Amino acid sequence: MISLENRSTFTENNKKEIFDLIIIGGGITGAGILLDACSRGKKCLLIEKNDYASGTSSKSTKLIHGGLRYLKNLEFKMVSDVGKERNIAFQNAPHLVRPEKMLVPLYKGKGFKKWQLSIALKIYDLLAKVRKIDRRKMLSKDETRAVEPRINSYNLIGGGLYAEYRTDDARLTTSIIKTANQYHGNSLNYMEVEKIEKKDHFEVSCFDHILNQKIIFQSEHVINATGPWADQTRLLEKEKFQSKIRLSKGIHIVVPKAALPVKHAVYYHLEDERMCFAIPRGGTTYIGTTDDDYKGSQDKINITKEEVSYLINGVNSTFTDQRIQNSDIISSWAGLRPLIEEEGKASTEISRKDEIFISKTGMITIAGGKLTGYRLMAKRAVDLIFSKETCRTQNISIDGNFKPKFNSYHDFKQYLCLNYKINDLKSDYFIQNYGLNSISILDDFQDAKQKLICCEMKYCFEKEGVFSLLDFFYRRTGQMYFDPKSVTNDLDEVVSYYNQFISKFGIKTVSKKEILSELENQINFI
């Protein structure tokens, strides 16, 4: 990735370069497009106004899932497509895409009937080509309680256990961009597009928030992959259009595992018949999501007490042995889904299909879709302009893949624990964040006199294009969401190391007080 050391050189050298493709938007879709196009041999540049994955692509439910709920709407092709994509994602990024057993409890007079869920999961297994070891298992009431002892037993009639895959959406996005770099793909975060014009070529006028300067990049083609900001990006061409994007807001809350110690991920019905997840991760459990129409600012999405109460009431009616309350919440996030409008339907009923729009100049906009389907979305968009070259991403290993060096996740985990004297939780953290790159960070730690977190920060600054300490804690490590207390550990040393690193580039330093203030903002709705 382009780092602080070579950013100025890159921008200066590419002022007169004509790229084959410029991608606007550094979320999962833009990352997928960059990898697809540059792996076809094209000279590409991805531009993101903030940090990579700073929008929707770090605020999902963090599942590469097969879309069980789409069977209700008879969307068989979507289930088949995302099921296949899930298998590809697991094959190419086994460090980032991890198997997760999912329990669906069944209650009398609420949600699925037992026969309905049995048939749905059977179809799901077939369409999604689920591995034999992961195929669905229907459970009796006692078996359901044995799998998840804290589940509410009132009117419980049984359950279904099936396979999903958990990921870290921000880490996946960053890793795909890093993979694209291996195919000579270029990417610049903190680079805001201000104007798009079509002359002999597309001219994309930008402002670099790191170097504090304006720059124009040129390209034969432009793809707008800015998700909820798609319409705003289209307006930069000064062309009139009829918007078809409808924004839906989803929030998640995080509690310590002690407050909700689930053994498995649980997919349960709320009182209004919506489905919700409770998913264990490290020392926490996260709960979500909501699905409501949204018309506010896309850059500042507030979480309300009513939304939090909605999730808490739902989880407390499903898990009765241990009730959670506002004071248990340690962090939260809110994101927007760019849905494609379907007249007469509520946001919860709208299909998660993607759609492509092409302006008079030829700029392509792609919106909608799901995290799981990012690769197919990218292929669709890239095929429109580079159809002579074959898409190769189905078989491209994602940066950090530990195979074939290690036969399995278990073997890699054992290696880290034994060689670096770290515990199970810490080894899981490193594998699921950095994969094989963990070895580089841990080797540096063994040789250096700094704290491990400083070695991790150094790696992310040099190899992952992050320039902000908050972005590091939010999207490179995930600590701000899943281990906020650890952010305060050694904070004086971390802030000092960060300021020393970035000061030579003229970037504004930060204070310990700013980081602590951001931690408070994570639960400021309570």
**Over 90: is that where the pLDDT of 276 sits?**
yes
Residue 146 maps to a domain = no
- Could you give the CA distance from residue 90 to residue 96 in angstroms, rounded to a whole number? 8
- Could you give the CA distance from residue 67 to residue 76 in angstroms, rounded to a whole number? 10
In this prediction, residue 168 has a pLDDT band, given cuts at 50, 70 and 90, of very high
Of all helices (H) and strands (E), which one includes residue 8?
helix 7-13
In this prediction, residue 524 has a pLDDT band, given cuts at 50, 70 and 90, of low
What secondary structure letter does DSSP report for 129?
A: T
Domain C-terminal end among 370, 395, 420: 395
Residue 374 maps to a domain = yes
Answer yes or no: do 383 and 415 share one domain: no
Answer yes or no: do 475 and 359 share one domain: no
In this prediction, residue 187 has a pLDDT band, given cuts at 50, 70 and 90, of very high
Of all helices (H) and strands (E), which one includes residue 312?
helix 305-318
Answer yes or no: do 453 and 428 share one domain: yes
The whole-number pLDDT of residue 320 equals 84
Question: pLDDT tens, 331-380?
Answer: 999 999 999 987 777 777 666 788 999 999 999 999 998 899 999 999 99
Mean pLDDT of 435-457: 93
Reference 105, options 267, 262, 289; nearest CA is 267
- Could you give the CA distance from residue 122 to residue 106 in angstroms, rounded to a whole number? 16
Question: pLDDT tens, 119-137?
Answer: 888 888 887 777 888 889 9
The whole-number pLDDT of residue 526 equals 55
Answer yes or no: do 414 and 517 share one domain: yes
Cβ count within 10 A of residue 88: 18
Look up tokens 């409770």; give the residue. Answer: 278
Look up tokens 């070529």; give the residue. Answer: 201
Answer yes or no: do 53 and 176 share one domain: yes
In a 13 Å sphere around the CA of 150, the CA atoms on its Cβ side amount to 21
**Over 90: is that where the pLDDT of 98 sits?**
yes
Answer yes or no: do 386 and 426 share one domain: no
- Could you give the CA distance from residue 95 to residue 430 in angstroms, rounded to a whole number? 9
**Over 90: is that where the pLDDT of 91 sits?**
yes
Question: pLDDT tens, 277-310?
Answer: 999 999 999 999 999 999 999 998 999 999 999 9
Domain C-terminal end among 361, 395, 429: 395
Residue 196 maps to a domain = yes
Answer yes or no: do 413 and 517 share one domain: yes
Answer yes or no: do 436 and 505 share one domain: yes
Is-contact 191 49, C-beta < 8 A?
yes
The whole-number pLDDT of residue 507 equals 83
The whole-number pLDDT of residue 271 equals 83
Reference 260, options 316, 213, 221; nearest CA is 316
**Over 70: is that where the pLDDT of 67 sits?**
no
Look up tokens 């580079």; give the residue. Answer: 386
Is-contact 266 260, C-beta < 8 A?
no
Residue 423 maps to a domain = yes
Reference 155, options 108, 115, 110, 113; nearest CA is 108
Residue 439 maps to a domain = yes
Look up tokens 């895409």; give the residue. Answer: 97
Cβ count within 10 A of residue 130: 19
Cβ count within 10 A of residue 297: 8
Q: Are strands 275-281 and 265-269 parallel, antiparallel or unpaired?
A: antiparallel
- Could you give the CA distance from residue 342 to residue 339 in angstroms, rounded to a whole number? 9
Of all helices (H) and strands (E), which one includes residue 377?
helix 374-383
Tokens found for residue 14:
């590419």
CATH number at residue 413: 1.10.8.870
Domain C-terminal end among 373, 395, 417: 395
Question: In DSSP terms, which residues pair with 45 in a beta bridge?
Answer: 22, 186
The whole-number pLDDT of residue 66 equals 65
Torsion angle, alpha carbons of 458, 463, 465, 466, to 10: -30
The whole-number pLDDT of residue 97 equals 96
Residue 184 maps to a domain = yes
- Could you give the CA distance from residue 399 to residue 420 in angstroms, rounded to a whole number? 22
What's the total number of domains in the chain?
2
Answer yes or no: do 418 and 505 share one domain: yes
pLDDT over 70 percentage in the chain: 97
CATH number at residue 239: 3.50.50.60
In this prediction, residue 77 has a pLDDT band, given cuts at 50, 70 and 90, of confident
**Over 70: is that where the pLDDT of 47 sits?**
yes
Is-contact 35 181, C-beta < 8 A?
no
Residue 299 maps to a domain = no
CA 265 to chain centre: 18
Answer yes or no: do 429 and 498 share one domain: yes
Answer yes or no: do 218 and 357 share one domain: yes
AA letter at 499: N
Reference 7, options 222, 156, 210; nearest CA is 210
Domain of 386, in residue numbers: 7-57+170-244+351-395
Question: pLDDT tens, 214-270?
Answer: 999 999 999 999 999 999 999 999 999 999 999 999 999 999 999 999 999 999 988
Question: pLDDT tens, 379-438?
Answer: 999 999 999 999 999 999 999 999 999 999 999 999 999 999 999 999 999 999 999 999
- Write the burial class of residue 317 (CB in 10 Å: 0-12 exposed, 13-18 middle, 19+ buried): middle
Query: How much of the chain is helix, strand and coil, in % rounded to 5?
Result: 40, 25, 35
Residue 142 maps to a domain = no
Is-contact 335 249, C-beta < 8 A?
yes
The whole-number pLDDT of residue 352 equals 72
Task: Collect all residues with Cβ–Cβ distance below 8 Å to 458 and sequence separation of at least 6.
Answer: 444, 450, 501
**Torsional sign, CA 415, 431, 480, 281:** negative
In this prediction, residue 79 has a pLDDT band, given cuts at 50, 70 and 90, of confident
In this prediction, residue 72 has a pLDDT band, given cuts at 50, 70 and 90, of low
Answer yes or no: do 420 and 502 share one domain: yes
pTM, two decimals, is 0.95
Reference 381, options 44, 108, 60, 48; nearest CA is 44
The whole-number pLDDT of residue 99 equals 87
Mean pLDDT of 516-524: 82
